Protein backbone atom coordinates (compact mmCIF):
# COMPACT_ATOMS: atom_id res chain seq x y z
CA UNK A 1 0.00 0.00 0.00
CA UNK A 2 1.33 3.44 -0.89
CA UNK A 3 1.50 5.80 2.06
CA UNK A 4 1.32 9.55 2.63
CA UNK A 5 3.88 11.17 4.93
CA UNK A 6 3.48 14.59 6.55
CA UNK A 7 6.61 16.74 6.88
CA UNK A 8 7.02 19.83 9.04
CA UNK A 9 9.70 22.53 8.54
CA UNK A 10 12.16 23.94 11.02
CA UNK A 11 13.76 27.28 11.76
CA UNK A 12 14.55 29.39 8.70
CA UNK A 13 11.27 28.86 6.84
CA UNK A 14 9.44 31.80 8.46
CA UNK A 15 8.15 34.77 6.45
CA UNK A 16 6.19 37.93 7.17
CA UNK A 17 2.46 37.37 6.72
CA UNK A 18 2.61 33.69 7.61
CA UNK A 19 -0.71 32.29 8.81
CA UNK A 20 -2.77 35.41 8.10
CA UNK A 21 -4.99 33.65 5.55
CA UNK A 22 -5.76 30.98 8.14
CA UNK A 23 -6.74 33.64 10.66
CA UNK A 24 -9.10 35.30 8.17
CA UNK A 25 -10.72 32.10 6.93
CA UNK A 26 -11.03 29.86 9.98
CA UNK A 27 -12.70 30.33 13.36
CA UNK A 28 -10.65 27.39 14.66
CA UNK A 29 -7.46 29.14 13.56
CA UNK A 30 -8.49 32.41 15.21
CA UNK A 31 -9.07 30.58 18.49
CA UNK A 32 -5.68 28.87 18.21
CA UNK A 33 -3.85 32.15 17.53
CA UNK A 34 -5.59 33.71 20.55
CA UNK A 35 -4.48 30.76 22.70
CA UNK A 36 -0.91 31.18 21.49
CA UNK A 37 -0.84 34.92 22.20
CA UNK A 38 -2.25 34.35 25.69
CA UNK A 39 0.10 31.49 26.53
CA UNK A 40 3.24 33.29 25.31
CA UNK A 41 2.35 36.61 26.91
CA UNK A 42 2.90 38.63 23.72
CA UNK A 43 1.12 39.00 20.39
CA UNK A 44 2.82 36.32 18.32
CA UNK A 45 0.04 36.58 15.75
CA UNK A 46 0.71 40.30 15.17
CA UNK A 47 4.41 39.62 14.56
CA UNK A 48 3.59 36.71 12.23
CA UNK A 49 1.07 38.72 10.21
CA UNK A 50 2.86 42.07 9.95
CA UNK A 51 6.26 41.89 11.67
CA UNK A 52 9.54 42.60 9.93
CA UNK A 53 12.04 39.95 8.89
CA UNK A 54 14.20 40.98 11.85
CA UNK A 55 11.25 40.53 14.23
CA UNK A 56 10.66 37.04 12.89
CA UNK A 57 14.30 35.92 13.11
CA UNK A 58 14.47 36.22 16.90
CA UNK A 59 14.61 32.63 18.16
CA UNK A 60 11.99 33.36 20.83
CA UNK A 61 9.60 34.34 18.03
CA UNK A 62 10.73 32.14 15.14
CA UNK A 63 10.28 28.77 16.79
CA UNK A 64 6.78 29.39 18.23
CA UNK A 65 5.71 31.05 14.96
CA UNK A 66 6.67 28.09 12.79
CA UNK A 67 5.13 25.60 15.23
CA UNK A 68 1.86 27.56 15.48
CA UNK A 69 1.59 28.05 11.72
CA UNK A 70 2.36 24.41 10.92
CA UNK A 71 0.02 22.86 13.47
CA UNK A 72 -2.90 25.19 12.77
CA UNK A 73 -2.55 24.63 9.03
CA UNK A 74 -2.49 20.84 9.45
CA UNK A 75 -5.47 20.91 11.81
CA UNK A 76 -7.61 23.23 9.67
CA UNK A 77 -6.95 21.10 6.57
CA UNK A 78 -7.36 17.80 8.44
CA UNK A 79 -4.02 16.54 7.17
CA UNK A 80 -3.66 13.95 9.96
CA UNK A 81 -6.59 12.04 8.45
CA UNK A 82 -4.60 11.62 5.22
CA UNK A 83 -1.31 10.52 6.80
CA UNK A 84 0.21 7.19 7.69
CA UNK A 85 3.47 8.64 9.03
CA UNK A 86 5.17 11.96 9.82
CA UNK A 87 8.50 13.66 10.49
CA UNK A 88 9.69 17.16 11.26
CA UNK A 89 13.04 18.85 10.70
CA UNK A 90 14.51 19.87 14.07
CA UNK A 91 11.88 22.23 15.51
CA UNK A 92 9.40 20.67 13.06
CA UNK A 93 9.48 17.44 15.07
CA UNK A 94 7.36 19.20 17.70
CA UNK A 95 4.79 20.09 15.03
CA UNK A 96 4.76 16.47 13.82
CA UNK A 97 4.20 15.18 17.34
CA UNK A 98 1.37 17.65 18.02
CA UNK A 99 -0.40 16.71 14.78
CA UNK A 100 0.09 13.01 15.62
CA UNK A 101 -1.68 13.60 18.95
CA UNK A 102 1.31 13.00 21.23
CA UNK A 103 0.66 16.24 23.10
CA UNK A 104 -1.85 19.08 22.87
CA UNK A 105 -1.36 22.24 20.82
CA UNK A 106 -0.89 24.20 24.05
CA UNK A 107 1.56 21.79 25.67
CA UNK A 108 3.57 21.64 22.45
CA UNK A 109 3.75 25.42 22.32
CA UNK A 110 4.96 25.55 25.93
CA UNK A 111 7.72 23.10 25.06
CA UNK A 112 8.69 25.04 21.94
CA UNK A 113 8.81 28.33 23.88
CA UNK A 114 10.98 26.71 26.56
CA UNK A 115 13.21 25.17 23.88
CA UNK A 116 13.67 28.54 22.17
CA UNK A 117 14.55 30.30 25.43
CA UNK A 118 16.95 27.54 26.47
CA UNK A 119 18.68 27.51 23.09
CA UNK A 120 19.06 31.30 23.11
CA UNK A 121 20.63 31.18 26.57
CA UNK A 122 23.08 28.50 25.42
CA UNK A 123 23.92 30.59 22.34
CA UNK A 124 24.59 33.66 24.48
CA UNK A 125 26.94 31.69 26.74
CA UNK A 126 29.55 30.93 24.07
CA UNK A 127 30.40 32.27 20.59
CA UNK A 128 29.24 29.58 18.21
CA UNK A 129 27.83 29.12 14.74
CA UNK A 130 26.94 26.72 11.93
CA UNK A 131 28.03 26.29 8.30
CA UNK A 132 26.71 24.58 5.19
CA UNK A 133 28.97 22.16 3.33
CA UNK A 134 27.85 21.12 -0.17
CA UNK A 135 29.59 18.77 -2.56
CA UNK A 136 31.45 16.44 -0.19
CA UNK A 137 30.45 12.96 0.93
CA UNK A 138 29.05 12.71 4.46
CA UNK A 139 32.00 10.56 5.52
CA UNK A 140 34.43 13.22 4.28
CA UNK A 141 32.72 15.90 6.37
CA UNK A 142 32.61 13.63 9.42
CA UNK A 143 36.34 12.94 9.11
CA UNK A 144 37.09 16.60 8.51
CA UNK A 145 35.23 17.63 11.70
CA UNK A 146 37.08 14.97 13.71
CA UNK A 147 40.42 16.45 12.62
CA UNK A 148 39.64 20.02 13.74
CA UNK A 149 40.72 21.19 17.18
CA UNK A 150 37.74 22.35 19.25
CA UNK A 151 34.05 21.56 18.99
CA UNK A 152 32.66 21.06 15.47
CA UNK A 153 30.28 18.26 14.52
CA UNK A 154 27.83 17.28 11.77
CA UNK A 155 24.48 18.84 12.74
CA UNK A 156 22.05 18.37 9.84
CA UNK A 157 22.23 15.55 7.28
CA UNK A 158 19.90 17.44 4.94
CA UNK A 159 20.39 15.59 1.62
CA UNK A 160 23.11 13.60 -0.10
CA UNK A 161 26.11 15.90 -0.44
CA UNK A 162 24.49 18.61 1.69
CA UNK A 163 25.46 18.70 5.34
CA UNK A 164 25.43 21.42 8.00
CA UNK A 165 28.12 21.51 10.67
CA UNK A 166 27.92 23.15 14.08
CA UNK A 167 30.29 24.20 16.87
CA UNK A 168 32.44 26.96 18.29
CA UNK A 169 33.02 29.82 15.87
CA UNK A 170 36.75 29.22 15.52
CA UNK A 171 36.35 25.47 14.92
CA UNK A 172 33.56 25.92 12.36
CA UNK A 173 35.59 28.56 10.49
CA UNK A 174 38.56 26.18 10.40
CA UNK A 175 36.32 23.38 9.11
CA UNK A 176 34.97 25.63 6.36
CA UNK A 177 38.48 26.37 5.14
CA UNK A 178 39.38 22.67 5.27
CA UNK A 179 36.23 21.78 3.29
CA UNK A 180 37.11 24.32 0.61
CA UNK A 181 40.60 22.85 0.35
CA UNK A 182 39.07 19.39 -0.10
CA UNK A 183 36.96 20.57 -3.03
CA UNK A 184 33.58 21.39 -1.51
CA UNK A 185 31.30 23.09 -4.03
CA UNK A 186 30.08 25.39 -1.24
CA UNK A 187 31.33 25.93 2.30
CA UNK A 188 29.97 28.97 4.08
CA UNK A 189 28.91 30.20 7.50
CA UNK A 190 25.16 30.46 8.13
CA UNK A 191 23.44 33.50 9.60
CA UNK A 192 22.74 31.90 12.97
CA UNK A 193 23.91 32.87 16.43
CA UNK A 194 24.43 29.43 17.90
CA UNK A 195 25.61 25.86 17.48
CA UNK A 196 22.34 23.96 17.26
CA UNK A 197 22.49 20.14 17.39
CA UNK A 198 25.96 20.11 18.94
CA UNK A 199 27.41 19.41 22.41
CA UNK A 200 27.27 23.17 23.06
CA UNK A 201 23.49 22.81 23.43
CA UNK A 202 23.85 20.59 26.52
CA UNK A 203 22.67 23.30 28.98
CA UNK A 204 19.58 23.82 26.81
CA UNK A 205 19.04 20.07 26.64
CA UNK A 206 18.95 19.80 30.44
CA UNK A 207 16.41 22.62 30.67
CA UNK A 208 14.23 21.16 27.92
CA UNK A 209 14.42 17.68 29.48
CA UNK A 210 12.82 19.02 32.63
CA UNK A 211 9.97 20.58 30.62
CA UNK A 212 9.46 17.36 28.63
CA UNK A 213 9.36 15.32 31.85
CA UNK A 214 6.43 17.33 33.22
CA UNK A 215 4.42 17.32 29.97
CA UNK A 216 1.80 14.61 29.31
CA UNK A 217 2.65 12.46 26.27
CA UNK A 218 0.25 10.02 24.58
CA UNK A 219 0.96 7.29 21.99
CA UNK A 220 1.23 8.76 18.49
CA UNK A 221 -1.73 8.12 16.18
CA UNK A 222 0.74 7.14 13.43
CA UNK A 223 4.50 6.54 13.42
CA UNK A 224 6.73 9.58 13.76
CA UNK A 225 10.27 9.30 12.38
CA UNK A 226 12.43 11.13 14.88
CA UNK A 227 15.54 13.13 13.98
CA UNK A 228 17.90 11.35 16.36
CA UNK A 229 17.34 7.82 15.08
CA UNK A 230 15.58 8.23 11.70
CA UNK A 231 13.35 5.41 12.94
CA UNK A 232 9.56 5.35 13.42
CA UNK A 233 7.86 5.07 16.79
CA UNK A 234 4.50 5.64 18.44
CA UNK A 235 5.79 4.91 21.97
CA UNK A 236 5.57 8.02 24.20
CA UNK A 237 8.55 6.96 26.35
CA UNK A 238 10.80 6.55 23.31
CA UNK A 239 9.50 9.84 21.91
CA UNK A 240 10.39 11.66 25.15
CA UNK A 241 13.91 10.26 25.17
CA UNK A 242 14.66 11.03 21.54
CA UNK A 243 13.11 14.50 21.76
CA UNK A 244 15.37 15.26 24.72
CA UNK A 245 18.45 13.98 22.85
CA UNK A 246 17.60 16.01 19.74
CA UNK A 247 19.21 19.29 20.83
CA UNK A 248 22.73 17.85 21.00
CA UNK A 249 22.41 15.15 18.29
CA UNK A 250 22.42 15.59 14.51
CA UNK A 251 19.21 15.82 12.48
CA UNK A 252 19.26 12.67 10.33
CA UNK A 253 16.92 14.02 7.68
CA UNK A 254 18.39 12.16 4.71
CA UNK A 255 18.16 8.89 6.61
CA UNK A 256 14.61 9.66 7.82
CA UNK A 257 13.28 10.24 4.30
CA UNK A 258 15.08 7.17 3.02
CA UNK A 259 13.52 5.07 5.79
CA UNK A 260 10.04 6.48 5.11
CA UNK A 261 10.39 5.55 1.45
CA UNK A 262 11.57 2.05 2.44
CA UNK A 263 8.47 1.78 4.65
CA UNK A 264 6.12 2.62 1.76
CA UNK A 265 5.93 6.43 1.62
CA UNK A 266 5.37 7.56 -1.97
CA UNK A 267 3.58 10.89 -1.33
CA UNK A 268 5.10 13.57 0.92
CA UNK A 269 3.17 16.66 2.07
CA UNK A 270 5.15 19.52 3.62
CA UNK A 271 2.84 21.51 5.92
CA UNK A 272 3.98 24.89 7.17
CA UNK A 273 5.88 27.94 5.96
CA UNK A 274 8.25 27.66 3.02
CA UNK A 275 9.25 24.87 0.65
CA UNK A 276 12.65 23.88 2.02
CA UNK A 277 11.70 20.28 2.75
CA UNK A 278 10.14 19.79 -0.67
CA UNK A 279 13.50 20.57 -2.23
CA UNK A 280 15.34 18.21 0.11
CA UNK A 281 12.95 15.33 -0.55
CA UNK A 282 13.39 15.78 -4.31
CA UNK A 283 17.14 15.36 -3.83
CA UNK A 284 16.87 12.41 -1.43
CA UNK A 285 14.06 10.49 -3.18
CA UNK A 286 13.57 11.79 -6.76
CA UNK A 287 10.93 9.13 -7.43
CA UNK A 288 8.61 10.38 -4.66
CA UNK A 289 5.66 12.71 -5.11
CA UNK A 290 6.06 15.81 -2.95
CA UNK A 291 4.00 18.95 -2.41
CA UNK A 292 4.23 21.93 -0.08
CA UNK A 293 1.22 23.50 1.60
CA UNK A 294 1.95 26.83 3.27
CA UNK A 295 -1.51 28.39 3.10
CA UNK A 296 -5.12 27.50 2.39
CA UNK A 297 -4.35 28.19 -1.26
CA UNK A 298 -1.26 25.94 -1.03
Catalytic residue among 90, 128, 198, 256: 90
Contacts of 198 (CB under 8 A, 6+ apart): 128, 151, 152, 153, 155, 166, 167, 248
Is there a catalytic annotation at residue 52? no
Of the candidates 115, 108, 134, 240, the residue with the CA atom closest to the CA atom of residue 186 = 134
> How far is the first Cα of the chain from the last one, in angstroms, to the nearest whole number?
26
- Which residue in 13, 197, 198, 292 is the catalytic one? 197
For the chain, how are helix, strand and coil distributed in percent, rounded to 5?
Answer: 50, 20, 30
Q: Residue 227 class from Cβ within 10 Å (0-12 exposed, 13-18 middle, 19+ buried)?
A: buried
80, 224 in Cβ contact below 8 A? no
DSSP letter for 200, please.
Answer: G
Beta partners for 224? 86, 233
Active site residue 90: yes
Annotated catalytic residues are: 90, 197
Amino acid sequence: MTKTALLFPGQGSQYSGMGHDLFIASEVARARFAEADRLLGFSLSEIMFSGSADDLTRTSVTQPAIYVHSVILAQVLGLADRAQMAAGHSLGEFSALAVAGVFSFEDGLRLVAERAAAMQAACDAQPSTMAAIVGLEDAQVEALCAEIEGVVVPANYNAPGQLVISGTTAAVEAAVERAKAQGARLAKLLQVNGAFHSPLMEPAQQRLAAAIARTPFAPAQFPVYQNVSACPTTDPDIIRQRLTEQLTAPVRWTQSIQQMVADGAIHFVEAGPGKVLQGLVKRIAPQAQVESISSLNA
